[in-house]
Amino acid sequence: MHICKRSYHVVRSLHTKARKAFVVTGLCLLFFLACVSFQSASAKTSRIKDIVDVEGVRENQLVGYGLVVGLNGTGDGLNNSPFTEQSLIAMLERLGVNIRGRNLNTGNVAAVMVTASLPPFTNQGSKIDVNVSALGDASSLQGGTLLVTPLIAADGEVYAVAQGEVNIAGYSVEGEAASETQNIPTAGRIPSGGIVEREINFQLEELQQVRLALRNPDFTTSRRIAQAINGFTNATLAKAENSASVVLRRPTGYDGTIVDLITDIEQLPIQPDQSARVVISERSGVIVMGADVRVSNVAIAQGNMTLKITETPQVSQANPFADQGETVIVPRTSVSANFGGDVKLSVLDTGVTLQELVTGLNQLGVKPRDVITILQAIKAAGALQAEIEVM
């Protein structure tokens, strides 16, 4: 009896230890999976289809010249826009109406430029969106209808025909003492207003190899794409040609076409890499800095002189019932200058990150337009380890 009890306690103790070991093992496994998931989420990968374009698969730009009719007096003035008058006369002559030599006076017609993008592999009879923009002095295209307008490509061939009611996102109203304009009333859009009349002859499935063009050229990204494709297919099908393109070759024993091969590899995850770059727009004062921008050891001081000029003219007139005198305007000018007395000198250590650079400039009270000058000065001093691109 004592032996049975002792055996029972031993077995129970072993069972308890096994449960604890299982629980600990399960927690370690969950922690490992969480770490793997966190590392996968922080890898910041993108699909190949999101960072490359396939050679030959692209849009084609179309353009045309046409007339918009039905405007409520907001069209072109025929005296100021002779091309509108000539186009109106030519259109009416094609319809059998001869008004050449007559004096035309209508404000319901406007000459417009029509633009559209022809997507790749678009079939004949498909519909595309078109954009309409006034060419003359029309004040608004609201309520207008575009007449049949051929759209041509760079080769001079007609690939689509556009027609339909123009939709605009703005308006313009005017009275005797006030006027109001919202957005751009002289530009609009016709959804599905173009019909494709000619297809572009390009047989992608018959190619034995294509080039994948990187949207943001980079040698490291190009090599990673080639390595990912070769690793997935277990064959040397891709080769990094340069920083902007990767050559993808269809293998001899592959059952599908090059289209099938592109479909198989375009979902592969890639971690893009880019060189450090600072993009500056001096006109709008916008600054965009990449995450890898670094600054070497440098000292920065920023101060501005603000000059303020105020004009307060006064009116001087003669006394009442004076025999002579006239009313004149006497100028009064006030000038004040602020030389920035709180100018400070700050030191940025070697290897400063983007966040630290922005924080330091904000502590100096630097405005965006002043940041542009500071960044250019740091670059000229050789302390900015990044490329500056001015838009």
Mean pLDDT to the nearest integer, 96-115: 87
What DSSP state is assigned to residue 101?
Answer: T
Domain ranges of the chain: 60-172+181-196, 204-270, 277-304+341-390
Helices (H) and strands (E) in the chain, counts: 7, 25
Sign for the CA dihedral angle at 215, 216, 220, 221 comes to: negative
Classify residue 291 as exposed, middle or buried by CB count within 10 Å of its CB (0-12, 13-18, 19+): exposed
The reported pTM is 0.65
Give the model confidence (pLDDT) of 320-366 as tens digits. Answer: 766 666 777 777 666 555 545 555 555 555 566 656 776 766 776 67
- Provide the pLDDT for residue 172: 66
Specify whether the CB–CB gap between 83 and 111 falls below 8 A: yes
State the SS3 of 211-225.
EEEECCCCHHHHHHH
Residues β-bridged to residue 152:
63, 158
Report which of residues 130 and 314 the model is more confident about: 130
- Provide the pLDDT for residue 63: 97
Give the model confidence (pLDDT) of 27-41 as tens digits. Answer: 343 333 334 343 444
Rounded Cα–Cα distance for residues 241 and 108 (Å): 57
Residues β-bridged to residue 287:
280
Give the model confidence (pLDDT) of 254-300 as tens digits. Answer: 888 899 999 999 999 999 988 888 888 877 777 887 777 777 776 76
- Provide the pLDDT for residue 307: 46
Specify whether the CB–CB gap between 194 and 160 falls below 8 A: yes
Q: What are phi and psi of 222, to 5 degrees?
A: -60, -45
End-to-end CA distance of the chain: 92
Identity of residue 282: E
Rounded Cα–Cα distance for residues 41 and 50 (Å): 17
Res. 42: pLDDT tops 50: no
